[in-house]
Structures are given as structure tokens and as C-alpha cells.
Amino acid sequence: MKQEINIVWFKRDLRLLDHEPLMCALSSDVPALLLYIFEPILLNDAHYSKRHFDFIKQSLANMNEKLAAVGSQLLIIESDALQVFETLQNTFDIRNVFSHQETGLLITYKRDVTLKQYFKTRKINWSESIANGVIRGLSNRTNWKEHWIAFINKDFDHPNFDNSTLFGIPRIAQLEACFKSVDLHTDKNTPFQKGGTTTALKYFEGFLEDRINGYNTHYSKPLTSRNHSSRLSPYLAWGNVSIRMVAQKAASFKSQVKNKRNLNSFLSRLRWQAHFIEKFEMEYQMEYRNVHAAFRALEKPSNLVIQQAWKEGKTGYPMVDAGMRCLVATGFVNFRIRAMLVSFFTHHLWQPWQDASVHMAKQFLDFEPGIHYPQLQMQAGVTGINTVRIYSPVRNSLDHDPEAVFLKKWLPELAHLPIPYIHEPWKIPAMEAMFHNFELGRDYPLPIVEAKLARKHAQDILYGIKKDAKSKQESQRIVNKHTNPGREIWPGGDKLRTS
């Protein structure tokens, strides 16, 4: 007779703290196997890159360090998920699979549909816990905010491994021999944030104790936002910490924070993170088409030449180029820079947001599908209900990096110029350029488009679609389905705006 086991399947929840599936397994007398699968469907997906998998490996290694103290570790393998469960079922009698619901790409949703059918035919119970307060199967948001707040405020327990029934390390080593194993070694000498709950908690503690001061003041600044934001986004995206644990810990810190507005802003953004993931969960087609039907006929021919210039940070607009180079090199830029990069691509260059999706996802260390697609569409101005923001690269440069510190760091070819011409190198007089041995078009690209004309072209077309009667009907459908009562929209409004 085959041994009965339970399996805890980790995906985007790479932690041991505040982990309901793990708690369910530990509360059972049935031996528990902790499992992570590097799936070919994701290893080969264009949205993912080495920086993501290194972060995952570092997170898993950190989990194994903690598990080693109780004589266990994860079974970490590379394989198709269905094949893994079939192989394990041939050896064991799997009673339960515990995991979190995953709001991922369409390919992971289809994988889950296949697995659900397999588990049903084999009489394996698959128990999926809610992640981030995101609820599957909603038709509208009538009570969503209340559900989310209740989820966030719910008490939770950290796992107690005393007398646990976790598989021991020797047994897991035997199982590894049946699969393709994975080397968790990564290069630690990189500019990317390192994965793992231990590191996440250090970032969080440093934020609450120090960096939160100036949070609202510096949040939009391309350089100083790195030092005054939580930097928790990759740890939330890959589940090194839970949003509930972060929210409760931050709320408990209120008495120690000097400026309560900074803390309230941070807590508000935690809810907006869940808001966008819920939006994607409710309308997964956002991965490949405009959520607003009126914008689906919008024609934007792909131009691979100008797209490549944008990807390489060679558009001739310093803040766009510096932002992209920083993102590619470090995996992080603040929200304003992200929004500006997409706005410039979709409005000034008049390119389809779908063509930006893969490149941006590969660069964002905190790539989260449920954030990625709603934000791409919002910044591209195709949601029909949000303010269409056409970001001015020059205005953002002058307003948020007046001394050109950020620009000098990422555009060394401009660093020797007087500050006004770092912001707008096309305005440098011929004699001044000669004095600095600078030639536009040789040392730095000419502007790839004329910004004012490109902005007006985008504005006229997008606003024309928004004013159409059928477009307004579709906007109401989206409001009814995707927003909380009271027309709560981030960041709200019906006008076109440049910023």
C-alpha cells in the first residue's frame, strides 16, 4: 500500500511565515512534502528573465536555510507540473495539495485547469487559499473593499514545526533523483535586490524605522525615491512576505512614525496593489487586448526601429533614456518613471502597449501579472475610465531632477554639459556644443519624435474615442464591474492630462 502524503505547492508565495497552505499541512498527521517546480512554460516564457529566476532561487535557498533547522527542505525540481504530480502519485497516495490561488499569466491559468481535472479524476483534494485578498469568481466589486479589509485584519499564526510531519532531508534527496534537479547558486554580486524573507524583513524594518520619513516628498523623484520607498515590491510580487503581514506590521508602527501621512500613503498603496490584481483576476483578457472595447479598433502600427531605440534608452529624451537604462541595469525605477516610459512608448511613439509588455516585464524585478497589465493599459490610456496621462519627459526631468543628478548618473555622455542642456540637449547653441566637444546625433541621439506634435496626435485620437456615446456606455460597464461603489478609481478623472 502506498504511503499517504500531503503536498504544499509553492508558487508566488515563497515564504514560511503567514502561509495558510503550509499551516494546513502542518496541522495534519499525514506526512507533508514541500514542493517548488521550475516549470518550462515559465522558464521559456518571454516575460521572464534570469533576474526573476535568480530572485526565486535566492528565496528558495532562504527557505531551505530555515527548514534545515527542523531537518527538512523543499523538493525543488524542473519539470512540467502535471508530470510532477503524476510521478509523485505513482509513488505515493496524495491526499491533499495545498497552495495559494495564483493570479498569473494565461498559461498558468490553463495549467491549473488541467491540474484541477487531473486531481478530480485521482480523487486528490486541491485546497487553494486566497492570496493578497484577491477573490476568484467575482462579477463586481460591491463588497470587495470590505472583504479585503477583513482579510488584511484577520489573525494569522506563523508555523510551528515542533513535531511536524515534514519529509526529512534524506527522503527528499531520494525523490530528487527521480527528477531534474535545480542548482540554487546565484551570483550575489549584482545590482538587483536579493530574494528571500530574511532580506525582505530587513528592507521593511529599515523603511519603518527610517526611510518612511520623506516617503511622500520623494516618492516621485527618480533618484531619491530609491532611498525613501519601502522597496518591498519584489518581495510582495514573489511572496517573500505577505501583504497582510506587511499591512498589520505597518499599522502597528503608527505611534512611532512622525508623519502619519507617509504611513497612510503606504498603507493605501497596499490596497491599490490588491485592487489591480483583482481587476486582472476578473478580466484576464487584459493580458492581450484592451479592456475597453471602444479602444480595440485603435490602430498603432509597430515600428521595430523606434521600439529598439526606446528599449536601449536612445530616444533622444534624457529622462526617458535615463529611466530605461536604470531599469535595465537595476530592475527598479519608481512608479512615475514606469508610467512615463509606457506613456512615451504608447503616446509619443504611438506604439501598441502589447509591444512594450514583454520588455518591461523582463526588466521589472517585481513583475506581477496582476499589476503589469492593468497598469500598461491605464498608462496607455485605453481603459476608458482613467485619466489619460501623457507624461512630458522634459517637464518630469525639470520638476523631479532639477540638478540633473539622476540624468548624469545614467547618461554619462551628457554629464559634462551645463545642466539646462542635460535636460534639453537639442537646445545647446552651436558654439556651446563646440566648446564642450559635443555633437547631437553623434554623442547623443536626436529626439526620435517631436514631443508636442506627437502628444497632440495621441490626445486628439484618444479623447475622440472617449467622447463617443458607445465608448461612454462601455466605460460604465467597466465602472460597474471593476470599481468600488462611489466610483473609486485610481487616480480618477475623465479629462486628458499632461504631466
Matching residue, cell 473609486: 488
| 236-263 pLDDT, tens digit each | 999 999 999 999 999 998 888 778 899 9
8 Å CB contact between 463 and 453: no
Give kind and range of the element (H or E) at residue 497.
strand 496-498
Grid cell at residue 197:
524573507
Percent of the residues in the chain that have a pLDDT greater than 90, as a whole number: 82
Q: What is the pLDDT of residue 473?
A: 81
Residue 18: CB partners within 8 Å, gap ≥ 6? Answer: 156, 158, 241, 242, 244, 245
CA dihedral in degrees (76, 78, 82, 85; nearest 10)?
-30
Tell me the pTM.
0.94
Of 3.40.190.10, 1.25.40.80, 1.10.260.40, 1.10.10.10, which CATH number belongs to 197-283? Answer: 1.25.40.80
| 50-83 pLDDT, tens digit each | 999 999 999 999 999 999 999 999 999 999 999 9
- Could you count the other beta carbons within 10 Å of the beta carbon of residue 497? 12
4-132+167-181 and 286-498 agree in CATH topology: no
Grid cell at residue 383:
481603459
DSSP 385-405: SS-EEE--HHHHHHHH-TT-H
Q: What are phi and psi of 61, to 5 degrees?
A: -60, -40
8 Å CB contact between 323 and 337: yes
- Could you count the other beta carbons within 10 Å of the beta carbon of residue 226? 17
CATH no., domain 4-132+167-181: 3.40.50.620
Where do the structural domains in the chain lie, given as residue ranges?
4-132+167-181, 197-283, 286-498
Burial class (CB in 10 A: 0-12, 13-18, 19+), 61: middle
Please report which confidence band the pLDDT of residue 485 belongs to, taking 50, 70 and 90 as the band edges.
low
Look at residues 67, 66, 9 and name the one whose alpha carbon lies nearest to residue 37: 9
Q: Which amino acid is at 94?
A: I
Of 1.10.579.10, 1.10.645.10, 3.90.180.10, 3.40.50.300, which CATH number belongs to 286-498? Answer: 1.10.579.10
Q: Is the pLDDT of residue 489 over 60?
A: no
Q: What are phi and psi of 340, to 5 degrees?
A: -65, -40
